[in-house]
Structure formats: C-alpha cells, structure tokens
Amino acid sequence: MSGSTFGQLFQVSNFGESHGPAIGCVVDGCPPGLELSEADLQPDLDRRKPGRSRHVTQRRESDRVEILSGIYEGRTTGTPIALLIRNEDARSRDYSELAQTFRPGHADYTYWRKYGVRDPRGGGRSSARLTAPMVAAGAIAKKWLGRSYGTLVRGHLQQLGPIKVPFESWDEVDCNAFFAGSRACLPELEEYMDALRRDGDSCGAILRVVASGVPAGLGDPLYDRLDARIAYAMMGINAVKGVEIGAGFEAAAQLGSEHGDELTPEGFASNHAGGVLGGISSGQPIEVRIALKPTSSIRLPRRSVDLQHRPVTVSTEGRHDPCVGIRATPIAEAMLALVLIDQALLHRAQNADVAHALPPLPPGVA
C-alpha cells in the first residue's frame, strides 16, 4: 500500500501540498446510511484551523470542506467520500529562497534525498496543513463511532514547552485556544508563547487523548495490535516523537502487582493498561499520550548547508506555528478515531458471530 493511505477498511487517501490548488482526501469504506454533511466536518476543521489566536500561524484559511461524492440525500451510500479543501492564502514568495537550503530539523533535506526534488512552497507536503484532511476524515469516524457505540474521543494539552498543564475538566478544554484543561494556567501559557514569538524560537508539547465508550475486542494479538495501530497513527502526525499507551514509560518502573489492573464485578480497579490488553481493547477508556517536537521553521539563525553542501546560515521568516502542539489536539483525536473505526470494522468482519452469555465488564475506574 502506498504511503499516503491510512487504514485498512475505513481507508483515507490524503493528497495535497501547502501551496498547491487544494488539499483533501478520499475516504473509502464508510458504512452506508450515516447522516452526513459538510456541517458535521466543519467544527473539527475549525478547531484545527490557523488564525484562532495570536499564538498560531496567521495564515488565513477558511478550511471550508466540500464533499464531492459518497452522499445521497444526506446519507452515506457506502461508496468513497471525497473531501476537498481549496488553499486560499498561499504566498509562494515567502519561501522561494528556502529551496536552496535545508532547515535544521525540517523535512527539507530528507525529501530532497528521497525524491531528488521537493516543493518548497510552504513546506509542500510536509506542512502541518496536510493534517486538515485527517481532521475532516476523523470527524466522519467520530460520528459513526458515537452513533454505533457511544464512543467519545477527546484530547487536551498536558504540557507546553516546559509548562505542565493540569487537567480540570473537558469543559475548560473547549474554552481556550490552547486546548488546556485548566483556566488558571492560561496567562502563563500566553506569556510563554509571547516570549517565544519575540525570540523567534519555537517549543514542543505533550497531548493526552482519551477515547471512552470503546467496545472490548478491537485489535489483534500480534503485530496489528490496537496499541500498535494507535502508535502508528500518532507517529504518523507531523512532529510527533513519542507515544505512550496507559502508563507508558512509567510502566518500566512499576511492579507487576502495581501495574496489572485488577478486575472486579464492578469493572477494572485501575487503568494502567490504557484500555488495551494483549493488543486488544478491554472496554476501558483508551489512554494515549504523545510528544510533539518544536517547529523547525524558526527566525533564530542556525547552521545548515545548501544544495552543494556548503555551509550557510538559515533563518526562517514567513508564517509558522511557534508550537504545532497547540493545534494538534483535534488532529490526534481524529487519528485515534480513524484507528478505532477501522478496528471496529475489522473486528466485526471476523467476529460478528461471537456471542457471550454476559455483557462486558463495566469500564470501572477511568
């Protein structure tokens, strides 16, 4: 399978460049009969789109999505759903000089080595802009999962640069452009970002994404485990350098008697597993954490080389997110939703006939 397609049964084929005519995707394999219109996709696109605050790129894109196929009389027909988003604010002039050099930490160099050519306009294919179609496709997945199982996929910011962000409630997350779960920390975040922007530097972030209402049984024992699929999906997002499920790296120092989540008739007594046991969902919430690296396009001058490998100094002007992590929450939610719908379809393909005398254990402690 070629690299720009995600998923096995609910399959998303992404296309586009930052400054080409359009970006979008083809979603194949969606179950038929789902009520769907552009209005279902726009809210998540709006949550991701640039220009929501001064702390993100000031590129002006409405990110209006057009559904080109797969819908009849307001419902999915089971045939491919093509989604199109026109690029509106492409300024190629900002980037022309970059074609001769490689930004440290950027895909510039590796694209050039791989393909012998790269589209330097706005980062071309490596732009975070290409996550918009993921978000649109993810919104379809979220809707179907919600209707089918009551699944809810939500994320929030856990750390911005060095600042840890406490989580108080999902309501708070929706009330600020940082996807921060606490109102109190907002002034500190804003101050940090303002300083960063003044300095012409960038920072990384850590996000947490949680899916509740996930049915037990999704995933496979080996290789194509649910957690492996999630790790793949998350690390497939630009700038992600680390993924944890449940206790994650903390699990290394835990004892077995501490880590293994006890089962009771009322459900699991803890969720160190993050909702996945042996590669298969347990019915507990799926708990994922991801780390995003700082943006590589910064104003501060840095050493690099040019196409002839001669030393140069690179300083990147133009419009860039000083922290891509700020806008990444809807992206991570979307990717998790895409994994879950795919695994839900795969699971029922093989196991639709499995019957149980008992309903699943309740999720228990989150």
Question: CB atoms < 10 A from the CB of 191, how many?
Answer: 11
Look at residue 254 and give its three-state secondary structure: coil
Look at residue 211 and give its three-state secondary structure: strand
Q: In 3D, which of 135, 47, 36 has the Cα closest to residue 85? A: 135
125 forms part of the interface with its own copies (CB under 8 A): yes
Closest separation in Å from C-beta 123 to its own copies: 9
The b/e string for 140-166 (b: 16+ C-beta within 10 A; e otherwise) is bbbbbbeeebebbbbbbbbbbbebebe
149 forms part of the interface with its own copies (CB under 8 A): no
Residue type at position 334: A
145 near 337, Cβ under 8 Å? Answer: yes
217 forms part of the interface with its own copies (CB under 8 A): yes
323 near 55, Cβ under 8 Å? Answer: yes
Which of 19-27, 54-62, 169-177, 178-186 is the region at the interface with its own copies (rule: CB under 8 A)? 19-27
Applying CB under 8 A, among 48, 106, 142, 156 the residue interacting with its own copies is: 106
17 forms part of the interface with its own copies (CB under 8 A): yes
CB closer to its own copies out of 153 and 276: 276
110 forms part of the interface with its own copies (CB under 8 A): yes
Using CB under 8 A as the binding rule, the residues of this chain from 248 to 307 that contact its own copies are: 248-265, 269, 272-274, 276-283, 291-296, 298, 300, 302-305
Residue 55-94 contact track with its own copies, rule CB under 8 A, x = bound: -----------x-xxx-x--x-xxxxxx-x----------
CB closer to its own copies out of 189 and 206: 206
Residues sharing a CB contact under 8 Å with residue 255, sequence separation 6 or more, in sequence order: none
130 forms part of the interface with its own copies (CB under 8 A): yes
39 forms part of the interface with its own copies (CB under 8 A): no
